Amino acid sequence: MRVKLFVTVTFFCLLAVMPALARAEWFADLYLGPAITEDAAVKVERFFPTENASEEIEFNTSFTFGGRIGYWSDFFPYLAFSMDLSYFQAEAGKVDFSIIPWSTLLMLRWPLLTSHEFPNGEIQPYLGIGPSLIYYEMSIDYRPAISETISEWSFEDGWDVRAGLSWQFYRNCGIFGEYRYTHYSIDYEERSFFTNEVIRKVETRLDTHHFLMGISFRF
């Protein structure tokens, strides 16, 4: 249901802005950097047979890489709409989450050092926020407390927040530094095919701080 809601909202946002696209300042960004996921309890429950285990996990630092495409409106050049696709991991010994977020972002910028060559500013502080949908694969090994390793995949939704500073050193090209915060609550349930009863559950939260550097192309 949450996946359908995310796709529906994204679709109607695109329909609403279609008339402005031809007059927009388009951009495409590529980025990478470290991803630091906060410590969190990862809880596993099995109901047939009854088994449960919960451990406080200190996740290792990993890397984020990804890209986004969007546009700054000509009608209101401080405002942009973008879509972002990336990858990172939250893992530590017994637990491994591989995560692919797809985020829809509303972005705001403040043009600084404007000129004829850079009418939207050579320096541009910016903010971004929006809903995020993730595809994730997880592997959890709590043996012997849980008699088998869990290896599953699913989807969840959450939030994506950005703050950054862009330097457009050339009219069609620039570099940027960015802080990104993502929040996802994992609430995985496996149900019996015959009775639809829950037979296995995994619960945790993934709050991650990303410190990114990237290159931006404007056209």
- Report pLDDT digits (tens) over 137-179: 999 999 999 989 999 999 999 999 999 999 998 888 999 999 9
pLDDT tens-digit map of 62-92: 999 999 999 888 778 888 999 999 999 999 9
Residue 92 phi, psi (nearest 5): -170, 100
22 by DSSP, 3-state: which? helix
The pTM score is 0.88
2-218: CATH topology is Porin (2.40.160)
List the beta strands (DSSP E) in 22-61. 25-37, 40-47, 50-57
Mean pLDDT (the chain, rounded): 89
| Domain spans of the chain, in order of start | 2-218
33 closest CA partner among 178, 181, 182: 178
C-alpha span between 73 and 106 (Å, rounded): 12
Number of H helices, E strands in the chain: 1, 10
